[in-house]
Structure 1
């Protein structure tokens, strides 16, 4: 993923959510709809999340230091994980709490739990919010398509080493579906005069946000623990190593993402037995150049030359 593409998607989502949050709070103040309040808090949480992603991208660009010799690329993973926590707590759990509160209100005073004033406001706000969120979602889809290749959307979310686009995609998808849930609850509340539908719409929003937050937490936790190169990149690296006549075989190799756009490659390679140290050093330099040409994000490469010995047959 290009950093600029991810940044465009984040900024588009941030601007959309800030505008939507303001209108939702106004609608809640006029109607006291719990669905509107849950959606307003959801938009605030999303806005904060996008600000966190931008902050993580900025901090990840810091230069390496003696204390952090491989740089700060993983800061992007850390802030993406924080986003999942914010979405779970501020978005999902708050919506579930508000749904329970609205249900209790309906259970105690069923005749007074509906929307009693400014009936048209929440519907107009939700329709406008759906339109704005659709533009943000379209931007995230367009930027993702530049790097998704032939992968399905599920594969893209699960395999992406850069967290920003999958996070924005899932957030925008959750926002659109949540708005539909809110519109469903508000419209049925206006038709029936019962606040039960408002509570159900709010509960659906909460369950949706909790589910998305759990998915994000699982995926970003895997990135934080350290993921290797994709199978496609591993194949390219192996082909690059074996492309020269100086390497007889790869004895073993490991890769690790130091950040979304920085890959560490460590391999033990078999060289000819009678080569001089100068020849081996030149061969290693040539091999590193081929690896970087095949996979540009392979910025940290350690190649250990060795003499391959055929394993002795196991005793019968």
Structure 2
């Protein structure tokens, strides 16, 4: 029970966005059918795609928790990064593609204007739900941000679920504002093509968000190093050991959002017996795991290099 509660807490951003988007999608499709609004239909597709994206992220998180086995000795954590990349593709291909296509059709073959009141009601309802989901995402993000800017935290983040929801909700709020302006302008100026232009504008916003998400997801999928502060902590622990005469390199890679593999090449002092070297390696591993729990796999290789230079801890 405690584990289930922990997972619900961990995924509160994704669950909040999922419940909001399902309700909003239904309301938008009903409004689009009644009013004939292209931008409202586009917004319905947008919310439907977002709902599917949240389901994929939850699926990816569930698969990423599978334990390591012979086929995947470092576990399945990076599967989440694969599904994050799929989400970015879906936003671009389905969300942006359908929005631009629908907008173009509405410009080429404008539909007669109908009573926009239901659109305004649904847009207000959607703003409230999306705003709530966005506020949850911002609160969770701010809790991790510290002194960093949002963009710095997004670039450093190894958990794509949080920043994907933040990007999606931000794009959704902007899209709702554009849809509202499009519906109002279409009726104010008596020109239904304006609604189609609004739909195309929403599509371009989604395309831009998809490109940003794909860029971040690609980096995680290929493999990114740990946060500089974590690497610095590893260097500091190694520097305290007088038996180590030089550290050649410390290389890290995330195997999951909260799991890091570290490979250390170090030169030990010449008169250190083999037995003491083995004990030293085990001691260092225990100390690293105690101070940095995210280090799930630690590899330390004693290695002499004639040109090895002791590097200072990284800030």
TM-score, scaled to structure 2 = 0.93
- Structure 2 residue runs of 5 or longer lacking an equivalent are 1-5, 309-315
Corresponding residue to 1:81 among 82, 85, 92: 85
Q: How many residues align?
A: 304
Q: Is the 8 A contact 2:253 2:261 kept in 1?
A: yes
Within 5 Å, give how 1:271-290 maps onto structure 2: 271-290=268-287
Aligned twin of 2:44:
40
Partner Cα separation in structure 2 for residue 56 and residue 231 of structure 1: 26
SS for the counterpart of 2:118 is helix
- List per-residue Cα deviations over 1:17-36 (Å, max 9, x = no partner): 00000100110110110011
When structure 1 is superposed on structure 2, of 233-242 and 173-182 the one drifting more is 233-242
- Structure 1 residue runs of 5 or longer lacking an equivalent are 107-112, 312-316
Partner Cα separation in structure 2 for residue 239 and residue 4 of structure 1: 36
Corresponding residue to 1:231 among 218, 228, 233: 228
Partner Cα separation in structure 1 for residue 113 and residue 287 of structure 2: 67
Corresponding residue to 1:51 among 41, 48, 55: 55
When structure 1 is superposed on structure 2, of 8-17 and 191-200 the one drifting more is 191-200
Aligned twin of 1:109:
none
Q: Is the 8 A contact 2:231 2:250 kept in 1?
A: no
- List per-residue Cα deviations over 1:110-131 (Å, max 9, x = no partner): xxx34223x2100110011011
Whether 1:222 aligns to 2:201 is no
Over the aligned positions, Cα root-mean-square deviation in angstroms equals: 1.7
Whether 1:164 aligns to 2:161 is yes
- List per-residue Cα deviations over 1:55-85 (Å, max 9, x = no partner): 0000001111111111100011001000001
Whether 1:256 aligns to 2:253 is yes
Q: Is the 8 A contact 2:243 2:272 kept in 1?
A: no
Q: Is the 8 A contact 2:247 2:265 kept in 1?
A: yes
When structure 1 is superposed on structure 2, of 224-233 and 202-211 the one drifting more is 224-233
The Cα shift of 1:248 comes to: 2.2
SS for the counterpart of 2:306 is coil
The Cα shift of 1:145 comes to: 1.6
Deviating 4+ runs (over 6 angstroms): none
The Cα shift of 1:3 comes to: 6.5
Q: Is the 8 A contact 1:237 1:294 kept in 2?
A: no
Aligned twin of 2:190:
193
Partner Cα separation in structure 2 for residue 245 and residue 146 of structure 1: 38
1:168 and 1:76, CA in 2 relative to 1: closer, same or farther beyond 3 A?
same
1:293 and 1:28, CA in 2 relative to 1: closer, same or farther beyond 3 A?
same
Whether 1:64 aligns to 2:68 is yes
1:150 and 1:160, CA in 2 relative to 1: closer, same or farther beyond 3 A?
same
SS for the counterpart of 1:248 is strand
Q: Is the 8 A contact 1:6 1:164 kept in 2?
A: no
Corresponding residue to 2:267 among 256, 266, 270: 270
SS for the counterpart of 1:203 is helix
The Cα shift of 1:294 comes to: 3.0
1:6 and 1:87, CA in 2 relative to 1: closer, same or farther beyond 3 A?
farther
Corresponding residue to 2:109 among 78, 102, 105: 105
Partner Cα separation in structure 2 for residue 196 and residue 6 of structure 1: 44
Corresponding residue to 2:113 among 112, 115, 121: 115
When structure 1 is superposed on structure 2, of 285-294 and 210-219 the one drifting more is 285-294
Aligned twin of 1:91:
95
